[in-house]
C-alpha cells in the first residue's frame, strides 16, 4: 500500500489523523515545523515527538512524495534546478530562484514547480513538449517541490519560499483538481494564492472554471503570437481555443479575481518579432488591462530557433509600450530557464518529429506564414 504523503494533508486533516490514533492535535504543528527545517532527514530526526508516534509515522506515512536525484546550481548559486522522481518513477524538474535583497526590497525566493511529468501541449519552443505527457502530478508532489526548496533555503539561512510559479513542466490546467488543491495547501505553508502564478497555454473552459474558485491566484497566459495562424503553429492548443476566446477569458478572470493578468511572449527571431506584432501585442495587453512579459527564447537542444538580439528585443518592447517588460533568463547554464525543462527522459519520437516539422516550417518561412 502506498504510504500517505504528509504534504497531501491540510493542518486540520493532520490533526484529525493524529487524534484518531490517540495523539494530541498539537503534534501536527510540530511535524509541520520539522518538514520546513534544513537537515531534517525524516521521522527519526523529530526528537520532540514520542518514539511511538515516530514509529507510526514511519510505518504509515511518507516524509516526502519525491526523491531528489540531482541538484544543479547556476547564476553564482542563485538558481538551482532540482531533478526529482515520484514514487511511481516519473521524473520532473523544479527550479529554485533567489532574488537577493536590494534597496527597498527584502528579497524573494521563488520556486518554479512542475504540475506534470512531461507535457501534452507540444509548443515548438519548449523542450518539455517533446517528451509528451508521462503523468499528472498529485497535489502532494507539487507541494513537496516547494517543501524541498524550503529546506534547502533554510540550510543557507535565507528564509522560506515567498513565491511559487506554476511554470515548470506541464500544463497546470490539464491537471486542474490537483493544482487547485496544491494552491490551497500551499496557503497553509505560508504562501497565499496572491503569491502564486499559474501559467497556462490557454485552456479557456478551465480558466473560466478557475475564475469561480475564489482562489485569487495570478494568471499568466502563454500567448507568443498575435494572430491565430501563427499561434496555431507555435501553440497547437490554439486550434481549439483561438486568441479572441482566450483574451475574453483573461478579461473575465481578471474581473473575477481582482488580479492583473500577464501575457507571456517568447520572442523568436524572424518568427514573431516584427513591429506589427509588437504594436498588436500592446493593444491586446491594454484590452485585458494586463502586463506583457517578453522572454527572449532560451536555446533548447536540436532546435534552430533563436532569440532576437538584445537590441532587437529592446526595440520590440518599446513598440509594445509601457506595459512590457523584458524578462531576463535565470539559470540557462543549468538548462533551468523558461522552456528548457525536460528531466532526463527521452522525447516521444513521433511527437518530436511533428514538432521539428513545425519548427522547420517556421525557420524556412521567417514571417511565420506558410511558405
Which residues are known to be catalytic?
93, 338
Comparing CA positions, the residue from 297, 173, 327, 255 lying closest to residue 247 is 255
The C-alpha cell that represents 223 in the structure block: 500567448
Give dist(CA 189, CA 184) in Å, integer: 9
For cell 506583457, what's the residue?
292
Quote the CA–CA distance of 127 and 332 in Å, as a whole number: 13
Alpha helices by DSSP H, 47-162: 51-60, 139-155
Residues 6+ positions from 165 with CB-CB distance below 8 Å: 110, 111, 112, 113, 196, 197, 199, 220
**173: CB partners within 8 A, 6+ apart:** 179, 198, 200, 203, 206, 207, 210
If you ran DSSP here, which 8-state letter would residue 231 be given?
H
Q: What cell was used for 50?
A: 514520542
| Strand-pair partners of 91 | 85
Residue 326 cell numbers, joined: 523584458
To the nearest 10°, the Cα dihedral for 202, 208, 213, 218? 40
Q: How many CB atoms lie within 10 A of CB 171?
A: 26
- Identify the H or E element spanning 126: none
Q: What is the CA radius of gyration of the chain?
A: 21
50 to 54, 78, 86: CA distances (angstroms): 6, 38, 29
What's 196's DSSP letter? E
Cα dihedral value 335, 198, 31, 80, nearest 10: 10
Separation CA 335–CA 343 (nearest Å): 10
Amino acid at each position: 500500500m502506498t504510504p500517505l504523503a504528509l504534504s497531501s494533508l491540510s493542518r486540520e486533516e493532520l490533526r484529525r489523523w493524529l487524534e484518531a490514533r490517540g495523539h494530541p492535535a498539537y503534534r501536527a504543528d510540530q511535524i509541520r515545523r520539522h518538514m520546513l527545517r534544513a537537515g531534517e532527514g525524516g521521522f527519526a530526526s523529530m526528537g520532540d515527538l514520542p518514539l511511538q508516534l515516530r514509529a507510526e509515522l514511519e510505518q504509515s506515512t511518507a516524509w516526502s512524495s519525491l526523491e531528489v536525484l540531482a541538484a544543479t546550481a547556476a547564476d553564482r548559486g542563485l538558481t538551482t534546478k532540482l531533478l526529482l522522481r515520484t514514487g511511481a518513477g516519473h521524473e520532473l524538474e523544479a527550479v529554485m530562484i533567489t532574488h537577493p535583497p536590494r534597496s527597498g526590497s527584502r528579497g524573494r525566493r521563488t520556486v518554479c514547480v512542475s504540475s506534470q511529468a512531461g507535457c501534452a501541449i507540444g509548443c515548438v519552443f519548449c523542450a518539455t513538449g517533446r517528451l509528451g505527457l508521462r503523468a499528472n502530478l498529485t497535489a502532494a508532489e507539487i507541494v513537496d517541490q516547494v517543501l524541498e526548496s524550503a529546506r534547502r533555503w533554510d540550510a543557507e539561512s535565507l528564509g522560506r519560499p515567498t513565491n511559487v510559479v506554476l511554470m515548470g513542466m506541464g500544463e497546470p490546467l490539464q491537471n486542474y483538481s490537483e493544482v487547485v488543491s496544491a494552491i490551497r495547501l500551499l496557503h497553509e505553508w505560508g504562501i497565499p494564492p496572491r503569491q502564486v502564478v499559474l501559467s497556462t497555454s490557454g485552456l479557456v473552459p478551465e480558466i473560466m472554471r478557475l475564475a469561480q474558485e475564489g482562489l485569487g491566484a495570478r494568471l499568466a497566459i502563454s500567448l507568443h503570437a498575435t494572430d491565430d495562424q501563427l499561434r496555431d503553429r507555435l501553440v497547437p492548443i490554439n486550434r481549439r481555443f483561438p486568441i479572441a476566446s482566450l483574451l475574453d477569458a483573461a478579461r473575465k478572470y481578471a474581473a473575477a479575481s481582482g488580479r492583473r493578468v500577464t501575457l507571456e511572449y517568447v520572442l523568436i527571431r524572424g518568427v514573431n518579432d516584427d513591429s506589427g506584432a509588437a504594436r498588436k501585442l500592446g493593444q491586446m495587453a491594454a484590452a485585458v488591462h494586463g502586463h506583457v512579459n517578453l522572454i527572449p527564447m532560451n536555446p533548447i537542444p536540436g532546435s534552430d530557433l533563436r532569440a532576437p538580439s538584445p537590441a532587437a528585443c529592446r526595440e520590440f518592447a518599446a513598440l509594445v509600450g509601457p506595459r512590457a517588460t523584458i524578462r531576463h533568463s535565470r539559470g540557462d547554464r543549468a538548462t533551468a530557464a523558461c522552456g528548457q525543462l525536460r528531466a532526463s527522459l527521452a522525447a516521444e519520437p513521433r511527437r518530436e518529429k511533428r514538432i521539428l516539422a513545425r519548427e522547420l516550417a517556421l525557420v524556412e518561412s521567417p514571417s511565420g506564414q506558410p511558405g
